[in-house]
């Protein structure tokens, strides 16, 4: 007898839950919604731009250097091949004169070769094209 009472109580609980669920949606008519019916809500997005710099890679020969030589330099007996000693992804600047005060005419990438023909009293090398590179960033062997 206890089992039949449990079954009756269980069925009664299930029916009452089903009735409550079906009663929730009786006031509203079901509607279909398509994506065309949805109004998009704009989401504010903050964007930033990063300025880009285009670097000219030195590949020589370049046009003649128009800077007058006003510094002391020693000509090497023969041109010497040197290599740009900079970290991966960095550039070595080639300039019109032997100082960072002079304009940049191009750049060298890591281990790029350049021929030097003279050295200045301030330890800058003069390239075969007549431009200058700091001796601090040139090596006799590739890195």
Q: What is the pLDDT along the chain (143 residues), one digit of tens a residue?
A: 555 666 665 655 555 656 656 655 555 565 665 656 666 666 676 766 655 555 556 565 667 788 888 899 999 999 999 999 998 888 899 999 999 999 999 899 999 999 999 999 999 999 998 999 999 999 999 88
* 40 in any annotated domain: no
**Cβ neighbours for 128, distance < 8 A, ≥ 6 positions apart:** 60, 61, 79, 114, 115, 116, 117
* 134 in any annotated domain: yes
* 84 in any annotated domain: yes
The CATH number of whichever domain residue 133 belongs to comes to 2.30.30.40
CA dihedral 11, 15, 18, 19 (to 10 degrees): -170
Structurally, the chain folds into a number of domains equal to 1
CA angle in degrees (0–180, nearest 5) for 100-81-58: 50
Query: How many whole angstroms separate alpha carbon 103 and alpha carbon 141?
Result: 27
* 126 in any annotated domain: yes
* 103 in any annotated domain: yes
Whole-model pTM: value is 0.57
* 48 in any annotated domain: no
Enclosing domain of residue 111 = 73-139
* 39 in any annotated domain: no
């Amino acid at each position: 007898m206890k089992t039949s009472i449990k079954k009756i109580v269980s069925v009664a609980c299930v029916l009452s839950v089903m009735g409550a669920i079906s009663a929730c949606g009786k006031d509203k008519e079901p509607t279909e919604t398509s994506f065309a019916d949805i109004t998009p809500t704009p989401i504010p997005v903050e964007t930033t731009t990063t300025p880009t710099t285009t670097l000219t890679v030195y590949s020589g020969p370049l046009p003649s250097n128009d800077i007058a030589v006003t510094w002391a330099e020693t000509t090497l007996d023969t041109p010497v091949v040197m290599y740009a000693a900079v970290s991966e992804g960095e550039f070595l600047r080639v300039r019109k004169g032997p100082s960072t005060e002079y304009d940049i005419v191009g750049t060298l990438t890591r281990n790029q070769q350049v021929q030097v023909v003279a050295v200045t009293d301030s330890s800058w090398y003069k390239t075969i094209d007549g431009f200058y590179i700091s001796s601090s960033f040139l090596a006799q062997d590739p890195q």
